[in-house]
A and B are shown apart, each in its own frame.
Chain A
Amino acid sequence: MFRKVLIANRGEIALRILRACRELGVESVVAYSEADRESLPVQLADEAICIGPSDAKRSYLSVPAVISAALVTGCDAIHPGYGFLSEDEGFAEVVAAHDLTFIGPPAAVLERFASKAGTRQLLAAQGLPTIPGSEGMLRDEMHALSEAERIGYPVLIKPSAGGGGKGMRMVRTPRELESVLRVCRSEAKAAFGDDSLYLEKWLDENRHVEIQVAVDRYGHGVHLGERDCSVQRRHQKILEEAPTPALSAEARADLAQLAIRAVVAAGYENVGTLEFLVDSAGDAYFIEINCRIQVEHPVTEMLTGLDLVTTQMRIAAGEPLGFSQADVQFRGHAIEFRINAEDPDHDFRPGAGIVERYHAPGGPGVRMDSHLFPGYEVPPFYDSLLGKLIVWGPDRETAIARGKVALEELVIDGLVTNASIHQALLENETFLEGKMTTNLLDRVGSAAFLAAAARV
């Protein structure tokens, strides 16, 4: 195991990694930007080091600053969290060149899975059903139009790099495709520094189901079941749960088996997530792999009792997994609510400001992963995630009931949050029946959704 880990991230995930380090008896250093000087992870850290100004490009996204911080503080590993540099194979390479360990897949593995189109081909060759898509990257408008024609409308324009819904547009006609192609390119360029785009078949009534895997350096891999992330707003997940109500127990197990076999055969290493779209017939199509710890990892932790962050660290340190598929047991039902500083009444405009009062809910099966405290000033420079409320129950109904109680109990004063959208979801018939698709919120619009719930 490592001696000392640099935590190159912020917010709730920095806190999560700090806790994992402590549990393993590993020293840690929290790297922070000027805007996060008074943040909770910095306050709770054994050691903290300022790596740059608020602008993420010069702090959390600066490869030299992060590595320099690890070197001057005597760290032997860097945990990148999610976002920022977490899936940057160039960063992982520079980390290794400085005799440090990147906590995640090795650079060569990240490179193999870096291109989404390439990964689809790689895993299709291992027997995974993949979503129909363009052959390679879109060269120009003509190419895009002919590929869209071949795949069949509607199609989704997606950037090859990155995630989080940026640069992504669904189009139904050639005319729409022509008009948004350039916008997608510039959004992708701005967000990821790479404007390569590709097309994917769009399934109108689709569910988003992902399989969590963990594979050690010696080719031993297990799947940790699936998570249903169908509740989204403009391609951004806001609520995740497991097991998925979309598939039968047998179909879930089959998909997970298929996924773990394919990634082990393709040479994947460390924790990762394979995302699938499930159509109305229940057929699953692989779309992409996430080579990092994910925001929604606690859902799986609640079900399996495993710690995904310490597992990730152990694998990166070269330890064998130490358990087999038969040891992984799934218990009950878990739901995660992403609590964001976003105003549901104003098109989810992100907010910033001072947390005047904060109360995290508690009780059986309730977990709050958050970096908030009363008096904390949420800086405007980063993403709007304030925390994750995760509830567990022996079954979905109990989990939903606990979710309602917990959301009611949660207090975050001074900021507008999206908690009301979660409360509305827990009253929504489609959600309660487990029939939600990724367009649940966008189809009617969030305002109409909130209003409908208020009438209940």
Chain B
Amino acid sequence: MPQPDPSDSRRANRGPAERAADHAAIDRLSAELLPALIAKLGATGLGELEVREGTWRVRLRRPNDGSARPQRERRSGDRSTDKAPDRGGERSSERAPRGTHHPLETTTARTESRAVATSPAVGTFQPRAEVAAGTKVRAGDRLGSVDMLGLPQEVVAPVDGSVGAGLVEAGEAVEYGQELLVIEYDPTATASTNGTGS
């Protein structure tokens, strides 16, 4: 994602006008520049692409598996997950299945053509009636809720795409972070939100 250049000392004291300019820049970056850059990185064999504009720079780094997507500049093994958004999002580290499995024995491979909506809480899962396999969704759309002691916690789509397989049944008990619904990427629509949920 766009990050202020840390070498730019002027950022320390910014006025409202400069902040407004920042916001405009971010909007333009995500709407125009990122899709174009992703397409460019996908078309070339480059591992990394960086663009600077004013005090902003955007760096795209190709993951080891070959698909192009913007990444935040954090170690992939960084476990300071407190920075994760409150709601379910695409998770870069797959969680082990629960139950009798040894938690360290099993890890699921990441599937690159899809993202997974995860549970925002421990409780029972209720999908929305309107959400069925094939339903087109935008990132942030509500897919259902997890009832935590009578408090419904929203399950949201981590990316734009279409609803794929349901991983748990309606009314089933789920834990925090559990994978609930697969979202198949729609490659033409994902560029601006892809990867922001990790």
Contacts and interface: CB of A to CB of B under 8 A. Distances in A.
B81 A67 contact: no
B103 A50 contact: no
B35 interface: no
A280 B103 CA distance: 53
Nearest to B121: A65
A48 B98 contact: yes
B10 interface: no
A35 B81 CA distance: 8
A57 to B, nearest CB: 10
Given A37-B103, A38-B104, A64-B149, A53 B123 contact: no
A49 B175 contact: yes
Given A34-B81, A65-B122, A72-B122, A50 B177 contact: yes
Interface in B148-198: 148-149, 151, 173-178
B100 to A, nearest CB: 8
Nearest to B80: A54
A68 B103 CA distance: 22
B78 to A, nearest CB: 12
B81 A73 contact: no
Contacts of B96: 37
B122 A53 contact: no
Contacts of B80: 54
Interface residues of A, number: 28
B95 interface: yes
Interface residues of B, number: 25
Contacts of A68: 121-123, 148-149
Contacts of B73: none
Contacts of A55: 82
Question: Which of the listed residues A38, A53, A67 has the most CB atoms from chain B within 10 Å of its own CB?
Answer: A53
A173 interface: no
Interface in A416-452: none
Contacts of B104: 38, 43
A43 B100 CA distance: 10
B149 A67 contact: yes
B145 interface: no
A382 interface: no
Given A64-B149, A68-B123, A68-B148, A53 B103 contact: no
A455 to B, nearest CB: 42
A37 B173 CA distance: 18
A218 interface: no
A53 B95 contact: no
Contacts of B122: 49-52, 65, 68-69, 72
Given A37-B95, A43-B102, A50 B175 contact: yes
Nearest to B102: A43
B46 interface: no
B161 to A, nearest CB: 25
Interface of A: 34-35, 37-38, 42-43, 47-55, 59, 64-65, 67-69, 71-73, 98, 377, 379, 381
Interface of B: 79-82, 84, 95-96, 98-99, 102-104, 121-124, 148-149, 151, 173-178
16 contacts: A34-B176, A35-B79, A42-B103, A48-B103, A51-B122, A51-B175, A52-B121, A53-B82, A65-B121, A65-B176, A68-B123, A68-B148, A71-B149, A72-B123, A72-B124, A379-B79
